[in-house]
Structure 1
């Protein structure tokens, strides 16, 4: 890994994958075809891209049952425990509707309502992650969403990965369709004969899925366009080099564009971690991917002080931030920009990926400066409630009408004044 002085700090932002003009045109055509052709077009694209001709897109109860027979009981037990941790954490995010009454009799408030329906996209092949099923579905369930639809591309035999089906069942998904790609996003957004449209689409996917989500945004809501994974580790001389190296590689193995950064005031630790990363790389199963990631996006910044190190990670605004220092909790209040913050030696990033409870769908590419992890609020909407009293209108009506006329909106002013006149 490259070791640089903090004065050489560079943003960890990578170019967002906007796709080529050709890819965008393909996506636009797929969306238009699904809107026009419904199930027939969806079936054609599934055969073309997934190499399977499906008589029905729906996952049946028999397929759920078969999936449970194909995984170890130990795995089911772990999924259930992880699901309970995730559910418990997200239940704490729930907020009630509220009302307040003013002295003049006016009642103001906010009504919180769950979305009617949500679609969750789950990638297929080697990128099929049961943990992502839990992280997308459970907050929606906690929020009160009644209809949660999952879509995922099948293999050539028309099957979905057993672990994904088990995770979906444990999370409470009943409606699953074996479709993927931009065509699945289009089906969720606009509906077909088999798949009713939804109000919001969440979940990761390839460049075609990402482009499709961008195209349908506005007709439906989406969660985010997430970039490659990131980790920053803030550590001092009390940290172990082998543990930090393992954490950095845990993100590097995701993607050749994943970013792994260590920020430390200790040059000794920096040198030891650099050596340890390359040592551990040699025995990593996904060595080729991780090595490319470390070469292109792996860096160690050496600062003059721990305070400067904190400023550095705030500038980076990483997706994942580990703080492994003496008295790490004392630094928590100074951390302003990070998707998820892991405090202490035993809070390795994978703890959050799978089991602790907080969501692992996090803002990337510096967007932690203004974005939050996927949460219950993402699956609810808020309506303002205004119950204005007669007394309040008499007190404030003239001011409201004057404000309206200042903006040149005479009808607004008259809508208030007619009530004052009638009374």
Structure 2
């Protein structure tokens, strides 16, 4: 017998908001009620358990208000079905709270167990999944501003198909939909520098992973969510999400590569928060995991990680820790080992090498690496790579009157580079 999935949408929204247990959500709802003037409203863990059950009851109006306030989504998007009939559409629309961001598109998805008037053939699952797989490969070469709308349009199609398919096809589509939203979120965060939009999109990915009951994909989504507070210096929020990601990973047969990637994500968050010693320990643990391996195969969608990528993480952390000779050695080795298709990562490595030389008092070599990064960015835009170049330029302020730095400025603030940066 398959285990009951319960209200996966409310569970996904709870975890995404940082509430790892039903008790945490109940306590937060009680506090939020007081904040918005609903004094005396108390939500218990038993009530939250009922809301996360297979057939959640429609909450009372005050509870609806505090749920929407705290989790930022309309009731239907949180997995609740209104008690009025389908013919009362106008009344239903009056109770729908608009949700900012792309996560609202998933409202079109079916509630588990609902029958549909139009049932698509089983082949649509394979067909939809194949397009998702193609987008995954296109990410490494197609400009993010071009690929991003195509991925979102494909995700919208997936939401519609969820309501027109039955298991196991429905789960196939849900898993591919989660991967599509994950890809869109990665583009928004790493390529376009839109963390707010990425947060909404990754929430949609988590909801879709819940629809597919795919714990490993859910772990990948939550780990990506940890990048957002991690890069902002909010260590507590980042580590809380990493705990959730590791919890989800334990529920599935996770490969050594996947577990090493979780270490790398946490290491990068620690690095961004100034804890380089902890980060280097995590990277060492990841290296050991890759060396030992295990019997589980990696999912095909984890194409953003490899031993070389881990070394790139390590080089950046060594740089931030002030271990300049070690960082230089690590990053030069990464540069030699990067496959030809890794153009985006190459810009980051060039930027980190430039930072190493700037910190070592070698402005000419720093400018040379920074210019190589700009050459690559003109071919393949990557906002994270451009961030590295700008950081290097700030580090070169003591040398700004030297010829090499002025030549870098000419490149950095030339018409083509400036227009490219501002138009993406």
* Structure 2 length-normalised TM: 0.25
When Rg is computed on C-alpha atoms for both structures, the one with the higher figure is: 1
* Structure 1 length-normalised TM: 0.25
- The answer to which structure, 1 or 2, has the higher relative contact order (CA under 8 A, 6+ apart) is 1
